[in-house]
Structure 1
Amino acid sequence: MTIAVDFDGTIVENRYPEIGEERPFATETLRMLISERYKIILWTVREGRHLEEAIAWCRERGIEFYAVNKDYPEEKMENNNHYSRKIKADMFIDDRNIGGLPGWGEIYRMIHEKKSYEDIIAERQHTSFSDKNSKRKKHWWNF
């Protein structure tokens, strides 16, 4: 599976052109996905020096991308009649999703367990509902 991941606002807090603080568990999750043989493409509007800084930042944290802003490592604009900035990925992780960016733990579960965000939310609601019911109020006659 190929997953395209945005940088600013997704892996790090959005402070473009600077690099913001890492979003909790972002690099840890990406390293786990890479170790599980997912192809991770860095998909960002960054170019030139700003792009190189983002790649270096990720590399320092153990993240080596399958490709950067292209479908596969060898892709070249001049050799591809159908070159497009639109990445051909199975999944996109981006802070501009409708509904925002889930936490990286939830993202990992959706990918690894093949669950939808709706499934994760339903589980969370079911768990919190069950927890409320399991903590029944004690009556005055129970010690």
Structure 2
Amino acid sequence: MYIGLDFDGTVVDHRYPDIGEPVPGAVKWLKRLQQCGAKIILFTMRSNSEEGSYLRDAVRYLEENGIQLYGVNMNPDQAEWTTSPKVYAHVYIDDSAFGCPLVQPRGFAAPCVDWKVVGPQVEHMCLNMG
């Protein structure tokens, strides 16, 4: 199972260009999803520029928290069958996605993904794909 994963508002609070506080449950659920075989692809607007290494910061944050990325803004497997720039995934987890359950933790700049709802649903999908 491929998971396209947004960063700001999904894994951390919206504090771009800084890294915000962790979204409750995000790292825990991402680790569980990896254990059931999910391949996580960071799919974010963050990039590296003369002003900063915003994408590298996000990648580093995930890696330091035990999340092994399968790809960054690309699915390495899809080059075999398409030249489309859209990242192929079975599910996209993004606070901006229509219908994504959100919560507003105290002190957060904006609503973020509700991993208490999203985590179990995506894990169920992952377990049933095998």
Q: Could you say which TM-score interval applies, normalised by the shorter chain?
A: 0.7 to 0.9
Of structures 1 and 2, the one with the larger relative CO (CA 8 A, separation 6+) is 2
Report the Cα offset of residue 107 of structure 1. 1.0
User: Which residue in the other structure is 2:41 paired with?
Assistant: 41
| Dislocated runs of 4+, deviation >3 Å | 99-102
Report the Cα offset of residue 63 of structure 1. 0.7
From the two aligned structures, give the one with the greater strand fraction: 2
Q: TM-score, normalised by structure 1?
A: 0.69
The answer to whether 1:106 aligns with 2:117 is: yes
SS of 1:113's equivalent in the other structure is helix
The answer to whether 1:58 aligns with 2:62 is: yes
Report the Cα offset of residue 108 of structure 1. 1.6
Q: C-alpha distance in 2, partners of 1:64/1:101?
A: 24
SS of 2:120's equivalent in the other structure is helix
Q: 1:73 to 1:21 in 2, by over 3 A?
A: farther
Q: TM-score, normalised by structure 2?
A: 0.76
Amino acid at match of 1:61: N
From the two aligned structures, give the one with the greater helix fraction: 1
Give RMSD over aligned pairs: 2.2
Q: 1:21 to 1:73 in 2, by over 3 A?
A: farther
Q: Structure 2: 5+ residue runs without aligned partners?
A: 103-113, 126-130
Q: 1:111 to 1:81 in 2, by over 3 A?
A: closer
Give the structure with higher Rg (CA): 1
Q: 1:96 to 1:81 in 2, by over 3 A?
A: closer
Q: Structure 1: 5+ residue runs without aligned partners?
A: 115-143
Identity percentage of aligned residues: 35
Q: C-alpha distance in 1, partners of 2:87/2:78?
A: 14
